[in-house]
């Protein structure tokens, strides 16, 4: 009888540890999936920012070639570059947070 009770307790402990490990793995997997999704969104936002910068550079080159650099165009260009700079600062902060999360996930 005592052997049966000990065997039952050992079985319960084993099943509990297996279930706990499985839940722990699921939690890590969910965190990894969320991290991957956030990383994909970051990549898309960075790509959009890069395209905006390229468009502004091309616009500036075209205006330079036309010889038109009036005050309104210059102000519009500076405003656009200011917006791009602000977006890049936000992306840099997001990248830092993503790096910290990656470090936490890999430990």
How large is the average pLDDT for residues 83-90?
Answer: 87
pTM value? Answer: 0.59
94: helix, coil or strand? helix
pLDDT in tens, 4-58: 666 666 677 677 776 677 777 777 778 888 888 888 888 888 888 888 888 888 8
Q: How far apart are CA 18 and CA 27, in angstroms?
A: 14
Output the pLDDT for position 35.
84
- Extract the tokens encoding 91: 């992306």
Between 8 and 75, the more confident residue is 75
How large is the average pLDDT for residues 65-92?
Answer: 80
Q: How far apart are CA 93 and CA 4, in angstroms?
A: 59
């Amino acid at each position: 009888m005592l052997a049966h009770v000990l065997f039952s307790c050992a079985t319960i402990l084993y099943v509990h540890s297996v279930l706990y490990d499985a839940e722990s793995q699921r939690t890590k997997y969910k965190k990894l999936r969320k991290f991957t999704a956030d990383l994909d969104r970051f990549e898309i936002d960075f790509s959009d920012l890069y395209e905006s910068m390229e468009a502004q550079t091309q616009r500036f080159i075209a205006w330079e070639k036309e010889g038109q650099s009036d005050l309104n165009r210059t102000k519009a260009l500076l405003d656009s570059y200011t917006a791009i700079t602000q977006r890049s600062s936000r992306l840099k902060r997001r990248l830092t947070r993503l790096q910290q999360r990656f470090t936490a996930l890999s430990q």
